[in-house]
Structure 1
Amino acid sequence: MQLNFSGLQALVTGAGKGIGRATAKALQASGARVVAVSRTNADLVSLSKECPGVEPVCVDLGDWEATERALGGVGPVDLLVNNAAVALTQPFLDTSKEVFDRSFNVNLRSVFQVSQMVARGMIERGVPGSIVNVSSMVAYVTYPNLAAYSATKGAMTMLTKAMAMELGPHKIRVNSVNPTVVLTAMGQKVLRDPESTRKLKERHPMRKFAEVEDVVNSILFLLSDRSASTSGSGILVDAGYLAS
Protein backbone atom coordinates (compact mmCIF):
# COMPACT_ATOMS: atom_id res chain seq x y z
CA MET A 1 0.00 0.00 0.00
CA GLN A 2 1.53 3.31 -1.11
CA LEU A 3 0.72 6.08 1.35
CA ASN A 4 2.43 9.37 2.06
CA PHE A 5 3.15 10.32 5.67
CA SER A 6 5.74 12.98 4.87
CA GLY A 7 6.02 15.70 7.50
CA LEU A 8 4.39 13.57 10.19
CA GLN A 9 5.95 11.99 13.26
CA ALA A 10 4.89 8.47 14.24
CA LEU A 11 5.45 6.64 17.50
CA VAL A 12 5.36 2.83 17.42
CA THR A 13 5.51 0.76 20.60
CA GLY A 14 6.76 -2.80 20.55
CA ALA A 15 8.84 -1.79 17.53
CA GLY A 16 11.70 -4.22 18.12
CA LYS A 17 10.13 -7.30 16.60
CA GLY A 18 7.30 -8.64 14.47
CA ILE A 19 4.36 -6.41 13.57
CA GLY A 20 5.76 -3.37 15.37
CA ARG A 21 9.12 -3.54 13.63
CA ALA A 22 7.50 -3.99 10.21
CA THR A 23 5.15 -1.07 10.93
CA ALA A 24 8.02 1.22 11.92
CA LYS A 25 9.89 0.35 8.72
CA ALA A 26 6.79 0.85 6.55
CA LEU A 27 6.04 4.23 8.13
CA GLN A 28 9.58 5.44 7.56
CA ALA A 29 9.47 4.20 3.97
CA SER A 30 6.26 6.23 3.54
CA GLY A 31 7.94 9.44 4.67
CA ALA A 32 7.21 9.58 8.40
CA ARG A 33 9.73 10.37 11.09
CA VAL A 34 9.56 7.37 13.41
CA VAL A 35 10.08 6.99 17.14
CA ALA A 36 10.56 3.28 17.82
CA VAL A 37 9.90 2.04 21.35
CA SER A 38 11.06 -1.34 22.64
CA ARG A 39 12.27 -2.81 25.93
CA THR A 40 15.03 -4.74 24.10
CA ASN A 41 17.95 -2.49 23.22
CA ALA A 42 19.57 -5.00 20.85
CA ASP A 43 16.43 -4.94 18.69
CA LEU A 44 16.53 -1.14 18.55
CA VAL A 45 20.21 -1.18 17.59
CA SER A 46 19.55 -3.53 14.68
CA LEU A 47 16.47 -1.54 13.61
CA SER A 48 18.48 1.69 13.62
CA LYS A 49 21.07 0.05 11.37
CA GLU A 50 18.34 -1.11 8.97
CA CYS A 51 16.52 2.22 9.07
CA PRO A 52 18.90 5.12 9.75
CA GLY A 53 16.98 8.08 11.14
CA VAL A 54 14.61 6.08 13.32
CA GLU A 55 14.67 7.47 16.87
CA PRO A 56 15.05 4.56 19.31
CA VAL A 57 13.59 4.67 22.83
CA CYS A 58 14.37 1.76 25.14
CA VAL A 59 11.86 1.37 27.97
CA ASP A 60 9.71 -1.28 29.61
CA LEU A 61 6.18 0.03 29.06
CA GLY A 62 5.00 -2.07 31.99
CA ASP A 63 6.77 0.46 34.24
CA TRP A 64 4.58 3.59 34.48
CA GLU A 65 7.24 5.93 35.89
CA ALA A 66 9.95 4.79 33.46
CA THR A 67 7.54 5.28 30.55
CA GLU A 68 6.72 8.80 31.72
CA ARG A 69 10.43 9.64 31.83
CA ALA A 70 11.30 7.99 28.52
CA LEU A 71 8.45 9.39 26.42
CA GLY A 72 7.92 12.74 28.12
CA GLY A 73 10.29 14.45 25.71
CA VAL A 74 9.75 12.71 22.38
CA GLY A 75 8.22 15.83 20.84
CA PRO A 76 5.11 16.20 18.73
CA VAL A 77 3.47 12.96 17.59
CA ASP A 78 0.86 12.79 14.82
CA LEU A 79 0.47 9.02 14.48
CA LEU A 80 0.52 6.46 17.29
CA VAL A 81 0.61 2.68 17.01
CA ASN A 82 0.09 0.91 20.33
CA ASN A 83 1.56 -2.47 19.47
CA ALA A 84 3.57 -3.53 22.55
CA ALA A 85 2.21 -6.68 24.16
CA VAL A 86 3.09 -9.83 26.03
CA ALA A 87 1.30 -13.16 25.53
CA LEU A 88 1.83 -15.07 28.76
CA THR A 89 0.16 -18.47 28.54
CA GLN A 90 -1.41 -20.05 31.60
CA PRO A 91 -4.70 -21.89 32.11
CA PHE A 92 -7.36 -19.75 33.78
CA LEU A 93 -7.25 -21.71 37.05
CA ASP A 94 -3.46 -21.42 37.22
CA THR A 95 -3.07 -17.79 36.18
CA SER A 96 -0.89 -16.05 38.74
CA LYS A 97 -1.07 -12.50 40.01
CA GLU A 98 2.27 -11.84 38.32
CA VAL A 99 1.02 -13.00 34.92
CA PHE A 100 -2.26 -11.11 35.30
CA ASP A 101 -0.56 -7.86 36.38
CA ARG A 102 2.16 -8.05 33.74
CA SER A 103 -0.39 -8.74 31.02
CA PHE A 104 -2.58 -5.79 31.94
CA ASN A 105 0.32 -3.41 32.64
CA VAL A 106 1.91 -3.94 29.23
CA ASN A 107 -1.07 -4.77 27.01
CA LEU A 108 -3.61 -2.29 28.34
CA ARG A 109 -2.30 0.16 30.91
CA SER A 110 0.54 1.27 28.64
CA VAL A 111 -2.00 1.93 25.86
CA PHE A 112 -3.89 4.18 28.27
CA GLN A 113 -0.75 5.99 29.39
CA VAL A 114 1.00 6.47 26.05
CA SER A 115 -2.24 7.49 24.33
CA GLN A 116 -2.93 10.08 27.03
CA MET A 117 0.54 11.59 26.55
CA VAL A 118 0.25 11.67 22.76
CA ALA A 119 -3.36 12.91 22.64
CA ARG A 120 -2.66 15.73 25.08
CA GLY A 121 0.14 16.87 22.79
CA MET A 122 -2.11 16.76 19.74
CA ILE A 123 -4.78 18.81 21.51
CA GLU A 124 -2.26 21.38 22.75
CA ARG A 125 -0.96 21.80 19.20
CA GLY A 126 -4.47 21.89 17.73
CA VAL A 127 -3.70 19.23 15.13
CA PRO A 128 -5.63 16.13 14.02
CA GLY A 129 -4.19 12.71 14.70
CA SER A 130 -4.70 8.98 14.37
CA ILE A 131 -4.16 6.24 16.94
CA VAL A 132 -4.20 2.53 16.14
CA ASN A 133 -4.33 -0.11 18.86
CA VAL A 134 -3.05 -3.53 17.84
CA SER A 135 -5.52 -5.99 19.33
CA SER A 136 -6.38 -9.57 18.40
CA MET A 137 -9.26 -11.75 17.31
CA VAL A 138 -9.16 -13.20 20.84
CA ALA A 139 -10.90 -10.00 21.90
CA TYR A 140 -13.96 -11.80 20.48
CA VAL A 141 -13.21 -15.54 20.61
CA THR A 142 -11.43 -17.74 23.11
CA TYR A 143 -8.29 -19.83 22.85
CA PRO A 144 -6.89 -22.16 25.54
CA ASN A 145 -4.44 -20.78 28.11
CA LEU A 146 -4.88 -17.15 27.06
CA ALA A 147 -7.37 -15.95 29.68
CA ALA A 148 -5.30 -12.96 30.82
CA TYR A 149 -4.18 -12.02 27.31
CA SER A 150 -7.71 -12.30 25.92
CA ALA A 151 -9.04 -10.18 28.76
CA THR A 152 -6.60 -7.40 27.91
CA LYS A 153 -7.67 -7.46 24.27
CA GLY A 154 -11.37 -7.53 25.12
CA ALA A 155 -10.85 -4.50 27.34
CA MET A 156 -8.93 -2.82 24.52
CA THR A 157 -12.04 -3.02 22.32
CA MET A 158 -14.01 -0.82 24.74
CA LEU A 159 -11.02 1.43 25.45
CA THR A 160 -10.70 2.07 21.70
CA LYS A 161 -14.37 3.08 21.52
CA ALA A 162 -14.13 5.29 24.62
CA MET A 163 -11.03 7.04 23.28
CA ALA A 164 -12.68 7.55 19.89
CA MET A 165 -15.74 9.12 21.52
CA GLU A 166 -13.82 11.50 23.78
CA LEU A 167 -11.06 12.43 21.33
CA GLY A 168 -13.27 12.73 18.24
CA PRO A 169 -14.17 16.41 18.91
CA HIS A 170 -10.43 17.12 18.75
CA LYS A 171 -10.19 15.43 15.32
CA ILE A 172 -8.25 12.51 16.75
CA ARG A 173 -9.34 9.13 15.37
CA VAL A 174 -8.84 5.88 17.30
CA ASN A 175 -9.21 2.39 15.83
CA SER A 176 -7.87 -1.12 16.27
CA VAL A 177 -6.69 -4.00 14.14
CA ASN A 178 -7.62 -7.49 15.27
CA PRO A 179 -5.53 -10.16 13.58
CA THR A 180 -5.70 -13.90 13.87
CA VAL A 181 -2.47 -15.75 14.57
CA VAL A 182 0.57 -14.16 12.98
CA LEU A 183 3.60 -16.41 13.12
CA THR A 184 5.95 -13.87 14.62
CA ALA A 185 8.22 -14.92 17.51
CA MET A 186 5.36 -14.22 19.93
CA GLY A 187 2.84 -16.14 17.84
CA GLN A 188 5.14 -19.15 17.65
CA LYS A 189 5.47 -19.20 21.44
CA VAL A 190 1.69 -19.47 21.79
CA LEU A 191 1.36 -22.21 19.14
CA ARG A 192 4.00 -24.68 20.22
CA ASP A 193 2.12 -27.85 19.18
CA PRO A 194 2.23 -28.50 15.40
CA GLU A 195 -0.97 -30.59 15.44
CA SER A 196 -3.05 -27.96 17.26
CA THR A 197 -1.58 -25.32 14.93
CA ARG A 198 -2.69 -27.35 11.89
CA LYS A 199 -6.19 -27.80 13.28
CA LEU A 200 -6.50 -24.11 14.10
CA LYS A 201 -5.40 -23.11 10.61
CA GLU A 202 -8.01 -25.44 9.09
CA ARG A 203 -10.74 -23.65 11.08
CA HIS A 204 -9.99 -20.49 9.09
CA PRO A 205 -12.13 -20.36 5.91
CA MET A 206 -9.08 -19.19 3.96
CA ARG A 207 -7.02 -22.05 5.47
CA LYS A 208 -4.24 -19.68 6.48
CA PHE A 209 -3.03 -17.38 9.23
CA ALA A 210 -2.35 -13.69 8.67
CA GLU A 211 0.95 -12.43 7.35
CA VAL A 212 2.74 -9.55 9.05
CA GLU A 213 2.27 -7.47 5.89
CA ASP A 214 -1.51 -7.98 6.04
CA VAL A 215 -1.65 -6.45 9.51
CA VAL A 216 0.74 -3.62 8.65
CA ASN A 217 -1.36 -2.64 5.62
CA SER A 218 -4.46 -2.39 7.82
CA ILE A 219 -2.55 -0.26 10.34
CA LEU A 220 -1.33 2.10 7.62
CA PHE A 221 -4.84 2.42 6.21
CA LEU A 222 -6.24 3.39 9.61
CA LEU A 223 -3.43 5.88 10.20
CA SER A 224 -3.99 7.52 6.83
CA ASP A 225 -6.53 10.02 5.56
CA ARG A 226 -8.01 7.20 3.44
CA SER A 227 -9.90 6.19 6.59
CA ALA A 228 -10.87 9.78 7.43
CA SER A 229 -14.40 8.89 8.59
CA THR A 230 -13.45 5.73 10.48
CA SER A 231 -13.11 5.90 14.26
CA GLY A 232 -13.97 3.59 17.13
CA SER A 233 -13.79 0.60 14.79
CA GLY A 234 -11.75 -2.57 14.54
CA ILE A 235 -10.52 -4.20 11.35
CA LEU A 236 -10.49 -7.99 11.53
CA VAL A 237 -7.45 -9.49 9.81
CA ASP A 238 -8.54 -13.03 10.57
CA ALA A 239 -8.71 -14.95 7.27
CA GLY A 240 -12.45 -15.27 7.85
CA TYR A 241 -12.18 -16.98 11.25
CA LEU A 242 -15.03 -15.10 12.91
CA ALA A 243 -17.28 -15.83 9.95
CA SER A 244 -17.01 -19.58 10.47
Structure 2
Amino acid sequence: MQLNFSGLRALVTGAGKGIGRDTVKALHASGAKVVAVTRTSADLVSLAKECPGIEPVCVDLGDWEATEKALGGIGPVDLLVNNAAVALMQPFLEVTKEVFDRSFKVNLRSVLQVSQIVARDMISRGVPGSIVNVSSMVAYVTYPNLTTYSSTKGAMTMLTKAMAMELGPHKIRVNSVNPTVVLTDMGKKVSENPDYAKKFKERHPLRKFAEVEDVVNSILFLLSDSSASTSGSGILVDAGYLAS
Protein backbone atom coordinates (compact mmCIF):
# COMPACT_ATOMS: atom_id res chain seq x y z
CA MET A 1 0.00 0.00 0.00
CA GLN A 2 1.54 3.30 -1.12
CA LEU A 3 0.61 6.01 1.39
CA ASN A 4 2.33 9.27 2.20
CA PHE A 5 2.65 10.26 5.84
CA SER A 6 5.22 13.01 5.28
CA GLY A 7 4.97 15.83 7.81
CA LEU A 8 3.23 13.63 10.37
CA ARG A 9 4.60 12.20 13.61
CA ALA A 10 3.56 8.71 14.63
CA LEU A 11 3.95 6.81 17.89
CA VAL A 12 3.98 3.00 17.86
CA THR A 13 4.00 0.88 21.02
CA GLY A 14 5.30 -2.67 21.09
CA ALA A 15 7.68 -1.53 18.37
CA GLY A 16 10.46 -4.00 18.98
CA LYS A 17 9.09 -7.09 17.29
CA GLY A 18 6.44 -8.46 14.97
CA ILE A 19 3.54 -6.25 13.91
CA GLY A 20 4.83 -3.21 15.79
CA ARG A 21 8.29 -3.39 14.27
CA ASP A 22 6.99 -3.74 10.72
CA THR A 23 4.51 -0.90 11.33
CA VAL A 24 7.39 1.37 12.36
CA LYS A 25 9.32 0.39 9.23
CA ALA A 26 6.32 1.01 6.98
CA LEU A 27 5.54 4.40 8.51
CA HIS A 28 9.20 5.40 8.32
CA ALA A 29 9.33 4.39 4.66
CA SER A 30 6.16 6.42 4.03
CA GLY A 31 7.71 9.62 5.31
CA ALA A 32 6.48 9.79 8.91
CA LYS A 33 8.62 10.73 11.86
CA VAL A 34 8.25 7.76 14.20
CA VAL A 35 8.49 7.39 17.96
CA ALA A 36 9.18 3.69 18.62
CA VAL A 37 8.24 2.47 22.09
CA THR A 38 9.17 -0.90 23.56
CA ARG A 39 10.59 -2.32 26.78
CA THR A 40 13.55 -4.14 25.18
CA SER A 41 16.54 -1.89 24.56
CA ALA A 42 18.29 -4.29 22.17
CA ASP A 43 15.25 -4.28 19.86
CA LEU A 44 15.32 -0.49 19.73
CA VAL A 45 19.02 -0.45 18.90
CA SER A 46 18.58 -2.79 15.94
CA LEU A 47 15.42 -1.00 14.79
CA ALA A 48 17.18 2.36 14.84
CA LYS A 49 19.85 0.92 12.53
CA GLU A 50 17.14 -0.21 10.09
CA CYS A 51 15.24 3.06 10.33
CA PRO A 52 17.66 5.95 10.88
CA GLY A 53 16.00 8.95 12.48
CA ILE A 54 13.35 7.18 14.52
CA GLU A 55 12.94 8.28 18.14
CA PRO A 56 13.44 5.28 20.44
CA VAL A 57 11.73 5.16 23.84
CA CYS A 58 12.46 2.25 26.17
CA VAL A 59 9.76 1.78 28.82
CA ASP A 60 7.59 -0.95 30.34
CA LEU A 61 4.06 0.19 29.52
CA GLY A 62 2.74 -1.96 32.35
CA ASP A 63 4.24 0.60 34.74
CA TRP A 64 1.93 3.65 34.87
CA GLU A 65 4.41 6.01 36.51
CA ALA A 66 7.31 5.03 34.22
CA THR A 67 5.07 5.46 31.17
CA GLU A 68 3.97 8.92 32.29
CA LYS A 69 7.61 9.89 32.81
CA ALA A 70 8.71 8.53 29.43
CA LEU A 71 5.81 9.76 27.30
CA GLY A 72 4.18 12.58 29.24
CA GLY A 73 6.31 15.16 27.43
CA ILE A 74 6.66 13.31 24.14
CA GLY A 75 5.34 16.28 22.16
CA PRO A 76 3.02 16.42 19.15
CA VAL A 77 1.79 13.09 17.77
CA ASP A 78 -0.62 12.83 14.84
CA LEU A 79 -0.89 9.05 14.52
CA LEU A 80 -0.92 6.45 17.30
CA VAL A 81 -0.70 2.66 17.06
CA ASN A 82 -1.36 0.88 20.36
CA ASN A 83 0.25 -2.46 19.62
CA ALA A 84 2.03 -3.48 22.85
CA ALA A 85 0.67 -6.70 24.35
CA VAL A 86 1.57 -9.83 26.26
CA ALA A 87 -0.01 -13.24 25.66
CA LEU A 88 0.34 -15.11 28.94
CA MET A 89 -1.36 -18.46 28.45
CA GLN A 90 -3.06 -20.29 31.33
CA PRO A 91 -6.14 -22.52 31.62
CA PHE A 92 -9.08 -20.69 33.20
CA LEU A 93 -8.87 -22.61 36.48
CA GLU A 94 -5.17 -21.80 36.79
CA VAL A 95 -5.24 -18.08 35.99
CA THR A 96 -3.22 -16.22 38.61
CA LYS A 97 -3.60 -12.70 39.94
CA GLU A 98 -0.15 -11.85 38.61
CA VAL A 99 -0.94 -12.96 35.05
CA PHE A 100 -4.37 -11.30 35.10
CA ASP A 101 -3.01 -8.00 36.41
CA ARG A 102 0.01 -7.95 34.10
CA SER A 103 -2.15 -8.70 31.06
CA PHE A 104 -4.65 -5.94 31.74
CA LYS A 105 -1.94 -3.41 32.62
CA VAL A 106 -0.06 -3.94 29.35
CA ASN A 107 -2.84 -4.92 26.94
CA LEU A 108 -5.57 -2.51 28.03
CA ARG A 109 -4.54 0.04 30.64
CA SER A 110 -1.57 1.21 28.58
CA VAL A 111 -3.91 1.82 25.64
CA LEU A 112 -5.99 4.13 27.82
CA GLN A 113 -2.96 5.93 29.25
CA VAL A 114 -0.97 6.42 26.05
CA SER A 115 -4.12 7.44 24.14
CA GLN A 116 -4.97 10.02 26.81
CA ILE A 117 -1.48 11.54 26.54
CA VAL A 118 -1.65 11.70 22.74
CA ALA A 119 -5.30 12.79 22.43
CA ARG A 120 -4.95 15.60 24.97
CA ASP A 121 -2.12 17.05 22.90
CA MET A 122 -4.09 16.67 19.65
CA ILE A 123 -7.00 18.53 21.22
CA SER A 124 -4.79 21.30 22.65
CA ARG A 125 -3.26 21.82 19.19
CA GLY A 126 -6.66 21.67 17.50
CA VAL A 127 -5.54 19.06 14.96
CA PRO A 128 -7.23 15.89 13.69
CA GLY A 129 -5.68 12.51 14.42
CA SER A 130 -6.01 8.78 14.03
CA ILE A 131 -5.55 6.06 16.65
CA VAL A 132 -5.39 2.34 15.84
CA ASN A 133 -5.62 -0.30 18.57
CA VAL A 134 -4.17 -3.69 17.65
CA SER A 135 -6.68 -6.21 18.93
CA SER A 136 -7.41 -9.79 17.88
CA MET A 137 -10.22 -11.96 16.62
CA VAL A 138 -10.23 -13.45 20.14
CA ALA A 139 -12.09 -10.29 21.11
CA TYR A 140 -15.06 -12.19 19.66
CA VAL A 141 -14.19 -15.89 20.02
CA THR A 142 -11.75 -17.50 22.42
CA TYR A 143 -9.59 -20.62 22.64
CA PRO A 144 -8.24 -22.83 25.43
CA ASN A 145 -5.68 -21.16 27.70
CA LEU A 146 -6.46 -17.66 26.41
CA THR A 147 -8.96 -16.60 29.08
CA THR A 148 -7.04 -13.52 30.18
CA TYR A 149 -5.66 -12.48 26.80
CA SER A 150 -9.04 -12.72 25.08
CA SER A 151 -10.66 -10.82 27.95
CA THR A 152 -8.25 -7.92 27.42
CA LYS A 153 -9.08 -7.87 23.71
CA GLY A 154 -12.83 -8.08 24.34
CA ALA A 155 -12.51 -5.07 26.62
CA MET A 156 -10.46 -3.29 23.95
CA THR A 157 -13.43 -3.50 21.58
CA MET A 158 -15.55 -1.39 23.93
CA LEU A 159 -12.66 0.91 24.80
CA THR A 160 -12.17 1.57 21.08
CA LYS A 161 -15.85 2.47 20.68
CA ALA A 162 -15.84 4.69 23.77
CA MET A 163 -12.75 6.51 22.57
CA ALA A 164 -14.25 6.97 19.10
CA MET A 165 -17.44 8.43 20.56
CA GLU A 166 -15.77 10.89 22.91
CA LEU A 167 -12.86 11.91 20.68
CA GLY A 168 -14.87 12.13 17.45
CA PRO A 169 -16.03 15.72 18.05
CA HIS A 170 -12.33 16.65 18.14
CA LYS A 171 -11.82 15.01 14.72
CA ILE A 172 -9.83 12.15 16.24
CA ARG A 173 -10.70 8.76 14.76
CA VAL A 174 -10.22 5.51 16.72
CA ASN A 175 -10.37 2.03 15.21
CA SER A 176 -8.93 -1.44 15.73
CA VAL A 177 -7.48 -4.24 13.65
CA ASN A 178 -8.43 -7.76 14.72
CA PRO A 179 -6.14 -10.40 13.23
CA THR A 180 -6.22 -14.15 13.48
CA VAL A 181 -2.95 -15.86 14.41
CA VAL A 182 0.00 -14.01 12.91
CA LEU A 183 3.20 -16.01 12.87
CA THR A 184 5.23 -13.61 14.98
CA ASP A 185 7.02 -14.85 18.11
CA MET A 186 3.80 -14.27 20.06
CA GLY A 187 1.59 -15.96 17.49
CA LYS A 188 3.78 -19.03 17.33
CA LYS A 189 2.98 -19.73 20.98
CA VAL A 190 -0.65 -20.28 20.03
CA SER A 191 0.18 -22.58 17.13
CA GLU A 192 3.28 -24.38 18.39
CA ASN A 193 1.53 -27.78 18.29
CA PRO A 194 1.75 -28.79 14.57
CA ASP A 195 -1.40 -30.96 14.62
CA TYR A 196 -3.42 -28.25 16.37
CA ALA A 197 -2.04 -25.59 14.03
CA LYS A 198 -3.00 -27.63 10.96
CA LYS A 199 -6.56 -28.22 12.18
CA PHE A 200 -6.89 -24.60 13.29
CA LYS A 201 -5.71 -23.29 9.92
CA GLU A 202 -8.22 -25.52 8.13
CA ARG A 203 -11.03 -23.81 10.06
CA HIS A 204 -10.13 -20.58 8.25
CA PRO A 205 -11.95 -20.37 4.89
CA LEU A 206 -8.78 -19.05 3.24
CA ARG A 207 -6.83 -21.97 4.80
CA LYS A 208 -4.11 -19.72 6.16
CA PHE A 209 -3.10 -17.50 9.05
CA ALA A 210 -2.42 -13.79 8.55
CA GLU A 211 0.90 -12.43 7.39
CA VAL A 212 2.37 -9.49 9.30
CA GLU A 213 2.12 -7.42 6.12
CA ASP A 214 -1.64 -8.03 5.98
CA VAL A 215 -2.08 -6.53 9.43
CA VAL A 216 0.29 -3.62 8.78
CA ASN A 217 -1.59 -2.71 5.59
CA SER A 218 -4.86 -2.53 7.55
CA ILE A 219 -3.21 -0.36 10.20
CA LEU A 220 -1.87 2.03 7.56
CA PHE A 221 -5.29 2.25 5.91
CA LEU A 222 -6.94 3.18 9.20
CA LEU A 223 -4.25 5.75 9.98
CA SER A 224 -4.61 7.38 6.58
CA ASP A 225 -7.15 9.77 5.11
CA SER A 226 -8.33 6.87 2.94
CA SER A 227 -10.47 5.87 5.95
CA ALA A 228 -11.57 9.43 6.77
CA SER A 229 -15.15 8.41 7.64
CA THR A 230 -14.28 5.28 9.59
CA SER A 231 -14.25 5.41 13.40
CA GLY A 232 -15.26 3.03 16.18
CA SER A 233 -14.79 0.08 13.83
CA GLY A 234 -12.63 -3.01 13.72
CA ILE A 235 -11.10 -4.56 10.61
CA LEU A 236 -11.02 -8.34 10.80
CA VAL A 237 -7.81 -9.73 9.33
CA ASP A 238 -8.87 -13.28 10.07
CA ALA A 239 -8.75 -15.16 6.75
CA GLY A 240 -12.53 -15.44 6.98
CA TYR A 241 -12.57 -17.29 10.30
CA LEU A 242 -15.55 -15.49 11.83
CA ALA A 243 -17.57 -15.96 8.65
CA SER A 244 -17.44 -19.74 8.94
TM-score bin (small chain): over 0.9
2:11 is aligned with what amino acid? L
State the Cα distance separating 1:125 from its structure 2 match.
0.2
Aligned match of 2:44: 44
Equivalent pairs counted in the alignment come to: 244
Shift of 1:190: 2.3
Matched, 1:15 2:7: no
- Deviation, 1:189, is 1.8
- SS of equivalent residue, structure 1 residue 76: coil
1:70-119 deviation line (CA, Å, top 9, x unaligned):
00121100000000000000001100000000000000000000000000
Query: Identity over the aligned pairs, expressed in percent?
Result: 86
Task: List structure 1 runs of 4+ shifted beyond 3 angstroms.
Answer: none
The residue identity in structure 1 corresponding to 2:69 is R
1:146 to 2:146 alignment: yes
Paired with 2:63 and 2:196, the residues of 1 have a C-alpha distance of 35
Length-normalised TM-score, structure 1 = 0.99
Q: Secondary structure at the match of 1:37?
A: strand
- How far did 1:191 drift? 2.0
Give distance in 2, aligned partners of 1:195 and 1:40. Answer: 32
Distance 1:149 1:233 in 2: 20
Q: Tell me how far apart the structure 2 counterparts of residues 216 and 192 of structure 1 sit (CA, whole Å).
A: 23
Structure 2 alignment gaps of length 5 or more: none
- Aligned counterparts, 1:68-83, within 5 A: 68-83=68-83
| Correspondences of 1:179-190 after superposition (within 5 Å) | 179-190=179-190
The answer to whether the aligner puts 1:126 opposite 2:105 as a matched pair is no
Q: Name the CA distance, whole Å, in 1 between partners of 2:131 and 2:106.
A: 17
Separation in 1, partners of 2:189, 2:207: 20
The answer to whether the 8 Å contact 1:5/1:30 transfers is yes
- Measured in 2, the distance between the counterparts of 1:160 and 1:242 equals 20
Is the 8 Å Cα contact of residues 87 and 190 (structure 1) preserved in structure 2? Answer: no
Asked if the contact 2:181/2:190 (under 8 Å) is kept, the reply is: no
1:95 aligned partner: 95
Taking structure 2 as the reference length, what is the TM-score of the superposition? 0.99
